[in-house]
Structures are given as C-alpha cells and as structure tokens.
C-alpha cells in the first residue's frame, strides 16, 4: 500500500518541503512539496535523490563498545560511566559535545540542556561554527539579536540581487531557481555576483565582480562612502533608528576613499566598480545574499557587518525586496542557533553575559549544575583535546576528521583522547572509525522532529519508515544517558513533541516581548498539533500566530536603546600570505551534487556521476608556468601536518582542471572527498586553523599552498 507523507529535505539550509512516497516501509520516490513556502514544488538534484541514499547495508545498526556489539542498556551505561568518571577526575570542563547542523532541533535542545544545565560546562559546539557563526555575530553586533530580517520572497521581489561569496546555483539551488524565475519574468531585475571565481552563479549574473580574495569589506566600505558622497543615504532612517554613522563613514572614507582606490585594492576595473555603485544607488529594492565566502574568514564578522551597514544606511531592511540575508549551509544550523547549540550562546536567544538570563534558564531547567559561561568553540575544542584539557568527547552526526581545518591534527587529537563517543547513522566515517563507543542514530526518513531554514521557517521532518536495526533518535540516546547519570526526572521525554513543547516554553519563559525568538503559541502544543504542524517563520506567539515574515520595518531593534548599530570596519586581509615557497592561494568549497563528506550522497550513483573525482581548478597560465597540462596529477601542500608524529606536510593529490574561471595564482578544491574515497584528497587538511577573533569561525576559504607534479 502506497502512502504520501510531507517532510523536509536533509541537506541544505534552503529547507525544502519534500513529499515522500512510502511503500512497504521503504521510501520509493520523492518530489518537492507544492505547498511548502520554501520551494513550492521544486527540488534540486540532491533533494530529488534522497531516497537513493537510504541503503541499510551502509548503516551503523547496533551499539558497539570497544569494538564489541552490545545492547542499548550496556551502551548507555558505558557512556554515562565514561562521562561521570572523567568529570569526577578532571571536572566538568574535561568533557565536550561536538554536534551538528544535521541534528533536529529536539536533539540539539537535549544536548544543550544536558551539557550546560547538568554536566555544568559550556563545552558544546557545533559544526555550524564552520558555516555561519560569523553571520550570527554580525547580526548581534548590528541588531542586538541574531535575527534574520527577511524571507525568501524578498529574493523575488528585489530589483537588485547582490550575491556575495555564494555559488547559490550549486549550493542553494532551489533559491537560485527562484531568483532566476523572477528574473525571467521581470528582465529588468539585475543580479550582481561578487566572487573571485567565475562560478555557475557568476556565469548567469548581469555583472560579475571577480574581486581579489578577502577584499569584500573594501568594496562595501567604498560603496558606503560613494553613496554618502552622492546623497543616496536614508537620512531619516539613520537619524531615527541607528547609531554609529559618523565613525562608520569616516572609516569607510579612510579605507576606500575613491572608486579608483577600491578598484585597485579589489583587483577590479574602474568600470566594474562604478557600474556596481550606480546600480545600487538606483535600486531601493536590494537584497544582499551572502554565504560561506563571507563567513569562512578571519574577518567574516566584519565583512558581514560591512554588508549590513549598507542596508542600514540606505534603509533597505524589513521591507519587501530589501534585506541583508545570510544563507546557512546546513538544514538545521538555524535550529541550533535557537536552542543555544553554539558554545558562546546560552539558550533560546538568551546570552551568557546576562546573569539574570543564566539564572532564568537554570531555574527553568531545574539545573543541577549550571555552567557559568561560554565553552570551547570548534577549533578550541579540538585544541583542548590535543592539550589534554578535554578527556572525553561525544561527537554527533558530523565528521570533523574531514571537515575541520587542520584535519590531520584533529585526527591525531582524537587518537590520543581518553574517550571518544560517536553517534552516527552510517557504519563508517573517518571519525566513527576512531570511536571507543559507537551509537547508531536514526537518519533522514526515520528521524522525527523540526528544523529551521535560513528564513527562520520551522518545518517538520517526519519519520516515514521504521529505524534501521537498533538505531535510536539522538534526543532519546541523550535522555537515557542523562537518566543513567542521575538526572532522569529532568529528561522525561517520551516523544519528540515533549522536547519541542519544552523548547517552545523556554522561548516564552519570562519573555514579555524582550526577546525576538518566542514560540509561545506552541507552549502547550499537543502531539496531534505537532504532527500536523505547517511551516511557519518564528516568532509564533499571540502577536504573530501565523509567524512573522519580516523584522525591523518599524525601525525597532533589540539593542538596549532600540537603535541598530553601524559598525566601523577596517578591512583586513586573510591571515596567511603567499611567499616563494607557497605561492598559490587555495579556496575550498562545495560541488553541486555532493553534501559535506559524502557519507550519504556518495552512495547515490546518480549524484557521483556529475563529478566523480576531486579536481584542482587552476588557471591555464599557472599550469603553463608549472609545466602542467589539463588532467595532470598534482600534489598540493599547505601548512597542515600529517602522520603520527605530525611532522609530514599534509598533501592533497588530484588531477587539475585548467580553467579561466579561476583568477591566476588561485586554486579551488572541493571539500567532499574523505580518506575512504581518496586517501590524499582531504581539502581541509591543507587549511590552517586561523579563526575570526569574534565568531571563532575558521578561515576555510583561504590557505596558501605549493603545487608540484605528482
Ligand atoms: Fe534539499 Fe537544499 Fe536541494 Fe532544497 S535546495 S532540495 S533543501 S539540498
């Protein structure tokens, strides 16, 4: 008997609704949900192959302790005793959770509560740190809260789309399709793409600015100064609703004084810069859509604030077709932000630096041992493991041995860690293979809960089929461990709605309108209502029972004085610079048909047929200088080290694609391949662990490397 069920895609932050056809406990087909506001019936190639990745032979089916199959009570006891023993001997900060934007909000909520409220440490961070933590910090600096101002309809309503550091055609394909459809309908709409590479996205832009890597803030500072000089600022909005204009403008003028100076610093022509500035001046309905090319930088927060400055100074925020819009990479990076899944967040958009908020959250949870402040961020967390400060780590639904900068160093750190617990749905990942305790978690089509997409829209991801083997939901596994550690009365969840209801209650707890995130309308949600939940943009409360499409049209921000802050930005270049030994800049990123470390998308033959091996993109002039030809094998070496002793330089070996889409002197490699697929093609092993000083986000878009024939 066939049935159809609505759920949400497991991959990117677009958060497309999926209509799954299920027969005999198997998903046999998927299609885009016509009624889901994110995608309106569309799916990209990855989403349309979701059912082709559900191969039980690749799944972790039973718990294992020390390489031996055990039952769940034994596994739970081993985790609880391992954590308790570590805490007893070394204190609560000797344990850490490293979680994932692949978790559902319910999983994230329980992980955050267990670590911060009961273990008593702030040491929970997420792979979303690698994806959008700079965007979070920038929103908070400017608005006082981590608030996405607009929604996806703004992308269609804008007359000018500025895509910065985003290859949306490949990484957020359904949003790109929506933008393209709007442009086809209204050919006067324009798209500018700011990206050092000529990507598929840049190829369809009206104007492509292939700027020098790391100079985005110069361009936006120059734009701000030029708009001020030519009388294009919204003086009324600035006067009534913002602060910081004088200092911000003064810095912009100092660092990007003229079109000529901007062109020279960014490596662009005068005509390119002037055209961009004139188009922005002439187009009030402007959306700036930014992603990893902005965030994954040692000055990612500043770059994002330079973009937000533009929107505040021109009053282009909170109105149809006008917003600074950060697009997240992962399906539930936003849900993690909402429950406090980042080490420097508390919970429900409450902050560590507010003692009343810490006390409020502790009281709400009935916390036995409340953490007092932020914990280690992703790179710090693995450094603390390396240094022996963190002795036990629980990694959930992520593969840091491949995805973290200095990936080989992360591997060595885990190899020497006393206790590595990994929950995953797959039987083999590079990280799982290093675990002392392996816990089989449910995967897409079995998981049941909620996710939040890049426009703040909360959707249900539904269980369609029974769990594979003995796989269990992450929230259930953590609740069982909490009970075994003596806190069962505070983790009495029987089903995901119990967790979601508590999360909704915390968002509304003593809120009285001060906090933007408020799910008060769901504080008493029943199982039937949860099951039937339709996708809504938070807040969902008495004032906004059907969700809120936009923030800030009223000029009211969540800073203490209600004004948005323009931030003076002094542009900084990437931390590593080229020299004679390492003369190339390396950029890393995603391909169209793969997801992260390929643990799922690598299973689908249709997806691997698009690009079947990692390739190094290189300008033909560089290839000629190195005496290389298209298709030749090369070895790329960066500053990372590999080997047990950490003394051998990390190496990435692959064939080259000669392409004029690359700027001379710059290389691009994909992030997806792991040692399981290609033993010497782990891109992040070449990237140093430099991070943004405010957000802690690593500079994954920039390393300096050497190239030689292999
Ligand atoms: Fe899934 Fe993203 Fe593709 Fe939508 S655009 S189908 S969410 S991968």
- Nearest atom in ligand 1 to the alpha carbon of residue 595 is 8
- Nearest atom in ligand 1 to the alpha carbon of residue 9 is 1
Are residues 219 and 534 in contact, defined by beta-carbon separation less than 8 angstroms? no
Mutation pick for ligand 1 pocket among 38, 174, 594 (CB with most ligand atoms within 8 Å)? 174
C-beta 14 within 6 A of ligand 1: yes
- Nearest atom in ligand 1 to the alpha carbon of residue 8 is 7
Q: How far is the CA of 407 from the centre of ligand 1 (A)?
A: 27
- What local confidence, expressed as pLDDT, does residue 602 receive? 81
Q: Where are the beta strands (DSSP E) in 659-702?
A: 666-670
- Nearest atom in ligand 1 to the alpha carbon of residue 18 is 6
| 646: confidence class by pLDDT, cuts 50, 70, 90 | low
The two domains 133-326 and 584-709 share their CATH topology (first three levels equal): no
Q: How far is the CA of 205 from the centre of ligand 1 (A)?
A: 21
Are residues 44 and 174 in contact, defined by beta-carbon separation less than 8 angstroms? yes
Tokens of 591: 């391909």
C-beta 46 within 6 A of ligand 1: yes
Q: Is the pLDDT of residue 643 over 80?
A: no
Cα separation values, 207 from 211, 224, 582, 677, Å: 12, 19, 32, 37
Choose which CATH entry (1.10.1330.10, 3.30.200.210, 3.10.450.50, 3.30.420.40) describes domain 2-53.
3.30.200.210
Tokens of 371: 């953490």
C-beta 17 within 6 A of ligand 1: no
Q: Is the pLDDT of residue 644 over 80?
A: no
- What local confidence, expressed as pLDDT, does residue 196 receive? 97
Mutation pick for ligand 1 pocket among 37, 52, 172 (CB with most ligand atoms within 8 Å)? 172
- What local confidence, expressed as pLDDT, does residue 676 receive? 66
Residue of the CA atom closest to atom 2 of ligand 1: 12
- What local confidence, expressed as pLDDT, does residue 1 receive? 85
Task: Flag the least confident range among 417-421, 483-487, 581-585, 623-627.
Answer: 581-585
The CATH classification number of 58-131+331-493 equals 3.40.50.740
- What local confidence, expressed as pLDDT, does residue 682 receive? 78
Tokens of 146: 């981590």
Q: Tens digits of per-residue pLDDT, 444-469?
A: 999 999 999 999 999 999 999 999 99
| 641: confidence class by pLDDT, cuts 50, 70, 90 | low
C-beta 10 within 6 A of ligand 1: no
Tokens of 151: 């929604």
- Nearest atom in ligand 1 to the alpha carbon of residue 172 is 5
Q: Is the backbone peptide bond immediately before 315 cis, with ω within 30 degrees of 0?
A: no
Mutation pick for ligand 1 pocket among 47, 53, 459, 595 (CB with most ligand atoms within 8 Å)? 47
Tokens of 547: 């969700």
| 154: confidence class by pLDDT, cuts 50, 70, 90 | very high
- Nearest atom in ligand 1 to the alpha carbon of residue 44 is 3
- What local confidence, expressed as pLDDT, does residue 259 receive? 98
Mutation pick for ligand 1 pocket among 11, 175, 592 (CB with most ligand atoms within 8 Å)? 11
Q: How far is the CA of 285 from the centre of ligand 1 (A)?
A: 26
Are residues 127 and 98 in contact, defined by beta-carbon separation less than 8 angstroms? yes
Cα separation values, 539 from 140, 152, 526, Å: 17, 16, 19
- Nearest atom in ligand 1 to the alpha carbon of residue 48 is 6
Residue of the CA atom closest to atom 4 of ligand 1: 16
The CATH classification number of 584-709 equals 2.40.40.20
The CATH classification number of 133-326 equals 3.40.228.10
pLDDT, mean of residues 219-236 = 98
Mutation pick for ligand 1 pocket among 10, 15, 46 (CB with most ligand atoms within 8 Å)? 46
Q: How far is the CA of 47 from the centre of ligand 1 (A)?
A: 5
Q: How far is the CA of 27 from the centre of ligand 1 (A)?
A: 17
Mutation pick for ligand 1 pocket among 12, 457, 607 (CB with most ligand atoms within 8 Å)? 12
pLDDT, mean of residues 229-240 = 98
Q: How far is the CA of 583 from the centre of ligand 1 (A)?
A: 37
d(CA 466, CA 199) in angstroms, rounded, equals 41
The percentage of residues in the chain with a pLDDT greater than 70, rounded to a whole number, is 98
If we measure between CA atoms, which residue out of 301, 108, 339 comes closest to residue 217? 301
C-beta 44 within 6 A of ligand 1: yes
Are residues 654 and 686 in contact, defined by beta-carbon separation less than 8 angstroms? no
pLDDT, mean of residues 613-628 = 94
Locate the domains of the chain by residue range.
Answer: 2-53, 58-131+331-493, 133-326, 584-709
C-beta 169 within 6 A of ligand 1: no
- What local confidence, expressed as pLDDT, does residue 599 receive? 79
Cβ contacts of 645 within 8 Å, gap of 6 or more: none
- What local confidence, expressed as pLDDT, does residue 19 receive? 97
Q: How far is the CA of 19 from the centre of ligand 1 (A)?
A: 13
C-beta 173 within 6 A of ligand 1: yes
- What local confidence, expressed as pLDDT, does residue 589 receive? 85
Q: Which residues pair with 30 in a beta bridge?
A: 20
Q: Is the pLDDT of residue 262 over 90?
A: yes
Asked whether the CA dihedral 625, 627, 633, 638 is positive or negative, the reply is negative
pLDDT, mean of residues 656-661 = 96
Cβ contacts of 543 within 8 Å, gap of 6 or more: none
Are residues 698 and 689 in contact, defined by beta-carbon separation less than 8 angstroms? yes
C-beta 213 within 6 A of ligand 1: no
Mean pLDDT, the chain, integer? 94
pLDDT, mean of residues 176-180 = 98
d(CA 195, CA 291) in angstroms, rounded, equals 11
The residue with greater pLDDT, 113 or 688, is: 113
C-beta 15 within 6 A of ligand 1: yes
- Cβ count within 10 A of residue 553: 14
Tell me the helix, strand and coil percentages in the chain, rounded to 5. Answer: 35, 20, 45
C-beta 9 within 6 A of ligand 1: yes
How long a stretch of residues is the chain?
A: 710
Residue of the CA atom closest to atom 6 of ligand 1: 47
| 640: confidence class by pLDDT, cuts 50, 70, 90 | low
- Cβ count within 10 A of residue 602: 20
Task: Flag the least confident range among 139-143, 351-355, 513-517.
Answer: 513-517
């Amino acid at each position: 008997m066939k049935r159809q069920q609505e759920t949400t895609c497991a991959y990117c932050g677009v958060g497309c609704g999926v209509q799954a056809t299920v027969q005999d406990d198997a998903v046999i087909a998927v299609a885009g949900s016509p009624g889901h506001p994110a995608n309106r019936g569309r799916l990209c190639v990855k989403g349309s192959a979701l059912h082709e990745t559900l191969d039980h032979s690749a799944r972790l089916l039973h718990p294992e302790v020390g390489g031996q199959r055990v039952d769940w009570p034994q596994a739970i006891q081993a985790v609880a005793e391992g954590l308790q023993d570590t805490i007893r001997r070394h204190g609560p900060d000797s344990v850490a959770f490293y979680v994932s934007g692949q978790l559902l909000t319910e999983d994230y909520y329980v992980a955050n509560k267990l670590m911060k409220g009961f273990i008593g440490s702030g040491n929970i961070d997420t792979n979303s740190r690698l994806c959008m933590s700079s965007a979070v910090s920038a929103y908070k600096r400017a608005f006082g809260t981590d608030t996405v101002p607009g929604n996806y309809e703004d992308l269609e309503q804008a007359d000018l789309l500025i895509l910065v550091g985003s290859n949306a055609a490949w990484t957020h394909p359904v949003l790109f399709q929506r933008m393209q459809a709007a442009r086809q309908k209204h050919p006067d709409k324009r798209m500018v793409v700011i990206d050092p590479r000529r990507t598929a996205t840049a190829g369809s832009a009206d104007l492509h600015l292939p700027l020098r890597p790391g100079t985005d803030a110069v361009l936006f500072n120059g734009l701000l100064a030029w708009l001020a000089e030519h009388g294009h600022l919204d003086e009324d909005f600035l006067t009534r609703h913002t602060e910081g204009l004088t200092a911000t403008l003064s810095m912009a003028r100092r660092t990007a004084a003229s079109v000529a100076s901007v062109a020279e610093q960014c490596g662009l022509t005068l005509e390119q810069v002037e055209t961009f500035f004139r188009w922005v001046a002439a187009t009030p309905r402007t959306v700036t859509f930014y992603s990893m090319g902005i965030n994954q930088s040692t000055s990612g927060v500043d770059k994002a604030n330079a973009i937000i400055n533009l929107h505040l100074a021109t009053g282009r925020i909170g109105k149809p077709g006008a917003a600074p819009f950060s697009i997240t990479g992962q399906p539930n990076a936003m849900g993690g932000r909402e429950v406090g899944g980042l080490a420097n967040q508390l919970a429900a958009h409450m902050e560590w630096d507010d003692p009343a908020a810490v006390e409020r959250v502790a009281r709400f949870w009935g916390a036995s041992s409340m953490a007092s402040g932020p914990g280690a961020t992703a790179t710090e967390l693995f450094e603390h493991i390396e240094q022996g400060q963190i002795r036990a780590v629980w990694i959930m639904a992520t593969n840091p041995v491949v995805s973290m900068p200095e990936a080989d160093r992360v591997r060595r750190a885990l190899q020497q860690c006393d206790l590595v617990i990994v929950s995953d749905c797959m039987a083999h990942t590079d990280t799982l293979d290093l675990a002392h305790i392996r816990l089989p978690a449910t995967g897409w089509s079995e998981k049941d809960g909620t996710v939040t997409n890049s426009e703040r829209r909360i959707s249900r991801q539904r269980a369609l089929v029974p769990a594979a083997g003995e796989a269990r939901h992450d929230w259930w596994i953590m609740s069982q461990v909490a009970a075994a550690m003596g806190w069962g009365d505070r983790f009495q969840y029987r089903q995901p709605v119990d967790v979601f209801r508590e999360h909704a209650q915390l968002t509304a707890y003593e809120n009285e309108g001060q906090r933007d995130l408020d799910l008060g309308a769901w504080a008493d949600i029943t199982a039937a209502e949860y099951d039937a939940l339709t996708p809504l943009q938070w807040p969902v409360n008495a004032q906004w029972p059907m969700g809120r499409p936009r923030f800030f049209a009223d000029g009211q921000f969540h800073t203490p004085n209600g004004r948005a802050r323009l931030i003076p930005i002094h542009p900084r270049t990437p931390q590593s610079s080229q020299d004679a030994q390492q003369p190339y800049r390396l950029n890393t990123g995603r391909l169209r048909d793969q997801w992260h470390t390929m643990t799922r998308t690598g299973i689908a033959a249709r997806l691997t047929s698009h690009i079947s091996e990692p390739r190094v993109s290189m300008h033909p002039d560089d290839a000629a200088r190195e005496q290389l030809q298209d298709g030749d094998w090369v070895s790329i070496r960066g500053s990372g080290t590999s080997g047990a002793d950490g003394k051998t330089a990390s190496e990435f070996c692959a064939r080259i694609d000669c392409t004029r889409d690359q700027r001379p002197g710059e290389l691009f490699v994909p992030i997806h391949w792991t040692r399981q697929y290609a033993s010497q093609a782990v891109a992040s092993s070449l990237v140093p662990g430099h991070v943004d000083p405010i957000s802690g986000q690593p500079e994954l878009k920039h390393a300096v490397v050497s190239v030689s024939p292999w």
